[in-house]
């Protein structure tokens, strides 16, 4: 089932944002595989959820749906049950993983597979890849990189009005959202890289290095 789900999921990705494209899904898959080595998991559930977790992202970005996780869970049910004949319990487990992976919603993972998907998805927002994704997505939104007149203290937005502020308001807090010990270890290392980058970035914009 794993390869069949992957093929079906790939059909939902064409010219999406480089921050949420099929390459992102593949990286989440690699991270999930790494994390899963430390745990006993249902790989059919985990990897079906990995391949399908962002199938609604492009539709949300276009304003066609409100919540790509909720829509994606529903669509995944159709793909798995109607198209691939998956068992009902597998479908429900995958749907829960997809609903719970989103950073900004209030659905807590209730299975190891859901925890691993969430951790893998958040890990792809940290480290060197996370930095690249952040600036790519910020460019799509037309956000500035840094504004010396808008300090973190004066920025009252939830996610940060500049990309520099976004790192501090969201990205650096991701290690605290990790559910597994394996995820926390990788997140701590990737966070250190981001902190070093931001320190140099701030010095460069001030003309110090």
Cα 40 from Cα 158, distance rounded (Å): 36
Q: Are residues 28 and 75 in the same domain?
A: yes
Number of domains in the chain: 2
Establish if 14 belongs to a structural domain: yes
CATH code, domain with 60: 1.10.3210.10
Q: What is the pLDDT of residue 120?
A: 98
CATH code, domain with 202: 1.20.58.1910
Establish if 116 belongs to a structural domain: no
Establish if 113 belongs to a structural domain: no
In tens digits, the chain (209 residues) has pLDDT values of 778 899 999 999 986 678 889 999 999 999 999 999 999 999 999 999 999 999 999 888 888 999 999 999 999 999 998 878 789 999 999 999 999 998 777 889 999 999 999 999 999 999 999 999 999 988 888 888 998 888 888 888 888 888 999 999 999 999 999 999 999 999 999 999 999 999 999 999 989 86
- Cα dihedral 167, 55, 123, 156, rounded to 10, equals 20
Q: Are residues 6 and 90 in the same domain?
A: yes
Establish if 120 belongs to a structural domain: no
Q: What is the pLDDT of residue 24?
A: 95
Q: What is the pLDDT of residue 130?
A: 96
Q: Are residues 171 and 96 in the same domain?
A: no
The residue range of the domain holding 41 is 1-107
What residues contact 3, with CB distance under 8 A and at least 6 apart?
Answer: none
> Smallest Cα–Cα separation from 12: which of 47, 45, 58?
58
Q: Are residues 146 and 208 in the same domain?
A: yes
What residues contact 144, with CB distance under 8 A and at least 6 apart?
Answer: 162, 163
């Amino acid at each position: 089932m794993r390869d069949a789900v992957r093929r079906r999921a790939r059909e939902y990705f064409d010219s999406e944002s480089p921050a949420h494209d099929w390459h992102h899904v593949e990286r989440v898959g690699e991270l999930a595989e790494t994390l899963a080595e430390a745990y006993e998991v249902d790989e059919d559930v985990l990897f079906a959820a990995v391949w399908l977790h962002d199938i609604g992202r492009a539709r949300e970005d276009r304003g066609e749906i409100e919540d790509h996780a909720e829509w994606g869970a529903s669509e995944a049910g159709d793909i798995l049950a109607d198209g691939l004949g998956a068992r009902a319990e597998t479908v429900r487990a995958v749907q829960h993983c997809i609903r719970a992976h989103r950073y900004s919603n209030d659905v807590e993972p209730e299975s190891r597979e859901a925890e691993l998907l969430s951790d893998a998805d958040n890990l792809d927002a940290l480290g060197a890849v996370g930095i690249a994704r952040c600036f790519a997505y910020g460019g799509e939104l037309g956000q500035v990189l840094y504004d010396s007149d808008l300090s973190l203290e004066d920025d009252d937005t939830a996610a940060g009005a500049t990309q520099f502020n976004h790192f501090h308001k969201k990205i650096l807090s991701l290690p605290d959202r990790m559910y597994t010990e394996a995820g926390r270890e990788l997140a701590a290392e990737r966070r250190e890289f981001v902190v070093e980058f931001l320190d140099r970035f701030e010095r460069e914009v001030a003309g110090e290095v």
